[in-house]
């Protein structure tokens, strides 16, 4: 069975003190690694070390929200994979829709980042998702296919072993409008079939596909209860323990069912 992954993407939020408080509360809630649920927080880069220290030894892992594909050198403002590893990051989010649509990242850049992270031994959460106009135009699946083909170009099954996909429909991010369980399941099923076609069905059975986009305590269990939904990538509701812990609890409940 695939292990649930519940990840908090803090985006450009928190400060040192509030991030520490949040991390401490989550570590207290998950004092040790859990069989059924993996828990991850992705703070802003400046706080990675502090947060990694806070959750050290608990069941909460730390990831980054982005990385650069070069190993080091004259790339002002960028952060390398080895640096993330050095401060204790297990995961890195790559290709988030805010990076695609606000910062202008292309599939080619995303692919280079995915390759660099894999080569450096940091697990990747690759985000894909359609705009509202894509969905309304009936293009959801072709957009997902293009993002998957672009992001995973020249990446072997062996290299993709630790990969996690996050389906985040752009129209559901930060809007309070969540994809219906049917919409989420249909996209996840499509993505899993894409993986089966590109790689094979053994691998597509193993790969985890998270849902992201206005996940809250009251919709988490239904969304994660879908056959092809293996966890959640949570934005706004990951910023307060009283909002995030119930989402983790929903995964715990499903994992023990």
168 is catalytic: yes
Q: Which is nearer to ligand 13P, 119 or 132 (CB)?
A: 132
Q: Which is nearer to ligand 13P, 69 or 167 (CB)?
A: 167
Segments of 11-115 assigned E as strands = 37-42, 60-64, 89-94
Sign of CA dihedral 138, 103, 50, 236: negative
Q: Which is nearer to ligand 13P, 129 or 158 (CB)?
A: 129
Q: Which one is catalytic: 96, 105, 185, 188?
A: 96
Site of interaction with ligand 13P (CB under 6 A):
9, 96, 168, 173-174, 212-215, 233-237
Least distance (Å) between residue 215 CB and ligand 13P: 5
188 is catalytic: no
Least distance (Å) between residue 210 CB and ligand 13P: 9
**Residues facing residue 5 across a β-bridge:** 38, 231
What does the buried/exposed string (b/e) look like for 59-77 if buried means 16 or more CB atoms within 10 Å of the residue's CB? bbbbbbbbbbbeeeeeeee
Q: Which is nearer to ligand 13P, 67 or 233 (CB)?
A: 233
Least distance (Å) between residue 145 CB and ligand 13P: 21
Closest by CA position to 37, among listed 231, 246, 237: 231
Least distance (Å) between residue 220 CB and ligand 13P: 11
Q: Assess contact for 14 and 44: CB atoms under 8 A.
A: yes
Enumerate the active-site residues: 96, 168
């Amino acid at each position: 069975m695939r292990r649930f992954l519940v990840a908090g993407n803090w985006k450009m939020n928190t400060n040192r003190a509030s991030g520490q408080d949040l991390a401490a509360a989550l570590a207290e809630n998950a004092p040790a690694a859990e069989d059924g649920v993996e828990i991850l927080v992705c703070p802003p880069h400046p706080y990675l070390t502090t947060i990694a220290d806070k959750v050290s030894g608990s069941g909460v892992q730390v990831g980054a929200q982005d990385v650069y594909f070069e190993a080091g050198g004259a790339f002002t403002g960028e952060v390398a994979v080895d640096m993330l590893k050095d401060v204790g990051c297990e995961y890195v989010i790559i290709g988030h829709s805010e990076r695609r649509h606000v910062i202008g990242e292309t599939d080619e850049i995303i692919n280079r980042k995915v390759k660099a992270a894999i080569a450096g031994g940091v697990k990747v959460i690759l985000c894909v998702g359609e705009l509202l106009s894509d969905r309304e135009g009936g293009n959801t699946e072709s957009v997902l296919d293009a993002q998957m083909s672009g992001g995973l170009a020249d990446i072997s099954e062996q290299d993709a072993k630790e990969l996690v996909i996050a389906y985040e429909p752009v129209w559901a991010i930060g809007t309070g409008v969540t994809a219906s369980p049917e919409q989420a399941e249909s996209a996840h099923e499509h993505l899993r079939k894409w993986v089966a076609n590109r790689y094979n069905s053994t691998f597509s059975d193993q790969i985890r596909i998270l849902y992201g986009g206005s996940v809250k305590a009251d919709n988490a269990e239904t969304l994660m209860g879908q056959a092809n939904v293996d966890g959640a990538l949570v934005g706004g509701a990951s910023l307060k323990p009283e909002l995030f812990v119930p989402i983790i609890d929903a995964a715990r409940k499903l994992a023990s069912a």
